[in-house]
Amino acid sequence: MAKLPDTIIPFRNKYTDKQAPKRKGDVVSNYDKATLGKSSRTSFVLKTEKLGLEFWINPSECSWRVPLRTTIEPIQGGAVHHEWYATGIGEQHKQKYDQPVLNFTFQAGHIAPRNWSTDESNTAISRTSSPELAAPGLANFYDFLALLNEPNLKTDGTPNYVEISYASLMMPSIQLKGFFTQEGVQWSDNADNPSSISSWGASFVVFESNPPLFERGQLRDKYATLFTDSPVSLFGQ
């Protein structure tokens, strides 16, 4: 069990404590400022070499599966357990993890046109009162479809990775590089709920993460930085 530091840094909750939590940089504004009455958050960001999008509403769920580079071979006398490490080619770290797979469930929120009403008697709202007609979540959906159509190679021949700035309480700040899987994207257009995009999902294979998933110290420091002025681990070494 990790040894706790002599001086324990207390967790602070902005809803129960008088003193607001101290955080650095853009984390302050993103986590402490509520947007349109919704809970405060740090936006998910996806980008390639030429395209990028910042999610209006973060994914509703992301399931992680991190396989190991191991296999079991049955033999007459029992079984043989094989395991091998990734060689660490290029920027990849030597590791026993195989490529993680993330299954995203995205959400767009209300996608009805902004500043539009079917009530003809409502003169305050007209169908032409705003040039920004598409709802932000629907615009995200269109941008996502365009991003999936980006080439996998840059003009110089290097991989045109999809880079994800992932943010949640579990993983406050982790950068992921990889590609969406060959299944592409799926969604439902539901007549019972036409103002939303149902079952919008896609799977993502991670080729590289920063910090690496097996570097516990870096993961803990990222978490600690969210609640303190300096990246001092709340968990010890």
Which range, of 63-72, 84-93, 129-138, 183-192, averages the lowest pLDDT?
Answer: 84-93
Dist CA 126 CA 137 (whole Å): 21
Dist CA 147 CA 124 (whole Å): 37
144-180 confidence digits (pLDDT tens)? 999 999 999 999 999 999 999 999 989 988 999 999 9
Instruction: Give every CB contact of residue 91 below 8 A, 6+ residues apart in sequence.
Output: 208
Neighbours of 101 (CB within 10 A): 16
pLDDT value of residue 123: 46
The average confidence (pLDDT) of the chain is 76
* Domain 41-67+99-113+132-211, CATH: 2.40.30
73-116 confidence digits (pLDDT tens)? 888 888 887 777 766 555 566 778 889 999 999 999 988 876 55
147-157 confidence digits (pLDDT tens)? 999 999 999 99
pLDDT value of residue 72: 83
Of 174, 169, 173, 164, the closest CA to residue 205 belongs to 164
Instruction: Give every CB contact of residue 99 below 8 A, 6+ residues apart in sequence.
Output: 67, 178, 205, 206, 207
Return the percentage of the chain with pLDDT > 90, whole number: 43
Dist CA 45 CA 208 (whole Å): 16
